[in-house]
Amino acid sequence: MKPLLRILALWRSRAGWLLAGAALSMAAVAAGVALMVQSGRAVGIAIVAGTLAAPFLLRALGALRVILRYAERLLTHAATFRALADLRVWFFRGLAKGSAGGLGFRRAGDVLSRLVNDVEALDGLYLRILIPLAGAVLLLPALGIFIGRTFPLLAAAVVVLFGIAAFVLPALAARQAKSAGSDLTRALSALRVAALDLLSGMKEVLAFGAEGRMLAQIQAREDALFAAQARVAKRSAWAAAAAFLCGQAALLAVLALAGAAPLGAIAATFLIVASFEVVAGLPRAGVLAGYAAASAERVLEAAQSPAPVADPPHPLALPRGFTLRFEAVGFRWQPDRPMVFDGLSLEIPERSRVAILGPSGAGKSTLAALALKVVAPQSGRVLLGGVDIAALSAADVRSRIGWLSQNTHLFDDTIRANLLLAAPAADEQALWAALDQAQIGAFVRTLPDGLDTWVGEKGLRFSGGQGRRLALARALLSPAPILILDEPCSGLDADTERAFLLTLNEVAKDRTVILIAHHLLGIERLDRVWRISGGRALAAAC
């Protein structure tokens, strides 16, 4: 249960809500049990006296139980929603911290499954596990004390049966369900990965007539998911059946002794029915706990992965200058992969315009990753303003460097929201200035909704060139004094590429501009050109 305890520790900030919900739930349980006991006594008296009356206490307990149950539902669900919201924020922050350069070797569908399904599986941790367990802890001594006053031996038997139904069976169910829960989470993740892959590559699937084969893969993974769900349901059914039999055994024991004290037996019967009803869901909750533990492991594993480059314990303050220098840098992505850089050295002065050229795989984008402190060199240093970035926080380094990647992403939101990603405090005048600098402001002004125009998924409402210009406007909106443009014309036709580069010549005059490209068109305004070859940077003619 260590993963579940770790999740509970993350909910410390919501302890007040959670404890208040638990207290209200215990009050509702107490009112419900007291109502049943009083009802049993009233029925017993009616049998003996031949008349049935509803005393004031019975009516008051009935009304109190309804009020407490309603309030308990409101409070415990509100506490759960807040706790899960905190968990999702914590998960996203951990994922972002460990994935500064992208998801890396994680699959998008698997990450989505952990963020959605695995987090949602934990919503029962409080409502279906902890709250019923607290009720069982409250009821166990109450059963022994109340029944023990009339039937001491019976009380011992009922307490044992109640303990088995409320604690032993759920624990056994949780242990047995752990492996089945792991299979279920993996199967659900595999199905989501396959479905997302199919949707993302639908054009290629249709072009090659592979619909049948891809659907067969989806169906195979769906069958695996159904099989895992069936195993979990089977364990849940057996545990629930065993708990039901414990409750029936307790009732039979009471009925066997009814002749000795009829009134006490009737009250005990009502109490047992109410008590076992409270914990009836605990065996299933045990199965849920096994599944939740498997989900918690996956959530923790993804969110607690270490950052690619750890910040120093005491980061230095940012220097005023922003000259970027690479000194004898050696780097490889994995120990078993070849060196990308082997003694690479180059300097990019402040406010200069340089181009980094080289074929695919030469290390051009790796250079950007090193500058952004997404990865760290195995040897050598990267300096910003004369200070080794290893001594600076990653957040400070990235505040000085704006980045436009070759696969830049436009979010399914408005133009305004996409631009504000770079500068959340920017006013409307600054947004229009950035759009005008990127030479797309005139087009946006023709749109009926202007800045509030919806961009569409991955910017599909705009052409490739328009999408690039929106991304450039976002990069220009950033106050960073260094702009790294990684293949900014990737996927554009020749005329659009030429127009885009002419735009670049006119903007960012007071910034350092680093253009990463396969080749130059000859229209770029550059101070220097570097060519990456053999793991080193060679100066080339402009």
Q: How far apart are CA 139 and CA 154, in angstroms?
A: 16
DSSP 448-514: TTGGG-B--GGGTTS-HHHHHHHHHHHHHHS--SEEEEESTTTT--HHHHHHHHHHHHHS-TTSEEE
Tell me: do 260 and 387 sit in the same domain: no
CB atoms within 10 A of CB 324: 25
Domains identified in the chain, total number:
2
Is residue 78 classed exposed, middle or buried when 0-12, 13-18 and 19+ CB atoms within 10 A define those classes?
A: middle
Among 236, 228, 232, which residue's Cα sits nearest to residue 281?
A: 236
pLDDT at 326: 94
Tell which of 268, 303, 338 closes a domain. Answer: 303
The reply to whether 201 and 328 lie within a common domain is no
pLDDT of residue 384: 92
Q: Can you tell me the distance from the alpha carbon of 248 to that of 240, in angstroms, rounded to the nearest whole number?
A: 12
Whether residue 314 is contained in a domain is answered as no
Are 296 and 329 contained in the same domain? no
- pTM for this predicted structure: 0.65
Is 209 in the same domain as 328?
A: no
Do 254 and 335 fall within a single domain?
no
Answer yes or no: do 73 and 42 share one domain: yes
CA distance readout (Å), 418 to 286, 352, 431, 465, 475: 45, 28, 10, 16, 11
User: Do 245 and 105 share a domain, yes or no?
Assistant: yes
The answer as to whether 11 is a domain residue is yes
CB neighbours (10 Å) of residue 14?
21
Task: Give burial (CB, 10 Å; 0-12/13-18/19+) of 341.
Answer: buried
Tell me the per-residue pLDDT of 498-534, one tens digit each, with 9 for 90 and over.
777 777 777 767 788 888 887 777 667 788 888 888 8
In a domain, 399, yes or no: yes
Residues 6+ apart with CB under 8 A from 95: 111, 115, 302, 303, 305
What residues contact 138, with CB distance under 8 A and at least 6 apart? 26, 29, 30
* Residue 308 is assigned to a structural domain of this protein: no
Q: What pairs with residue 325 in β-bridges?
A: 347, 383
Which of 303, 334, 361 is the C-terminal boundary of a domain?
303
pLDDT under 50: residue ranges of the chain: 101-105
pLDDT tens, residue by residue, 349-397: 998 888 888 887 788 888 888 898 888 899 999 999 999 999 998 888 8
End-to-end CA distance of the chain: 63
Is residue 380 domain-shared with residue 299, that is, in the same domain?
no
| Cα dihedral 237→239→241→245 (10° resolution) | 180
Q: What is the CATH number of the domain that holds 423?
A: 3.40.50.300
* Judgement on whether residues 110 and 252 belong to the same structural domain of the protein: yes
329 and 256 housed in the same domain: no
Burial of 149 (0-12, 13-18, 19+ CB in 10 A): exposed
For residue 501, CA distances in Å to 488, 510, 542 come to 9, 17, 15
| Residue 104: per-residue pLDDT | 44
Is residue 311 situated within a structural domain?
A: no
Q: How far apart are the C-alpha atoms of 349 and 506, rounded to whole Å?
A: 19
Q: At which of 303, 338, 355 does a domain end?
A: 303
The answer to whether residue 22 is domain-embedded is yes
pLDDT of residue 44: 64
- Helix, strand, coil % (nearest 5) of the chain? 65, 10, 25
Q: Quick one: pLDDT at residue 320?
A: 87
Q: Would you say residue 318 lies in a domain?
A: no
Q: Among residues 354, 296, 304, 283, which one has the least CA distance to residue 524?
A: 354
Residues 206 and 332 in one domain: no
Domain CATH code at residue 222: 1.20.1560.10
Nearest to 372 by CA among 326, 330, 414, 337: 326
Q: What local confidence, expressed as pLDDT, does residue 103 receive?
A: 39
One domain, residues 509 and 414 = yes
Residue 375 within a domain: yes
For residue 332, the 8-state DSSP code is -
Q: Encode pLDDT of 103-143 as tens digits.
A: 343 555 566 666 666 677 677 778 888 888 888 888 888 88
Q: What is the pLDDT of residue 49?
A: 57
Q: Which single residue is written with the structure tokens 């008349």? A: 51
Distance CA 183, CA 189 (A): 10
Question: What is the domain extent for residue 439?
Answer: 324-540
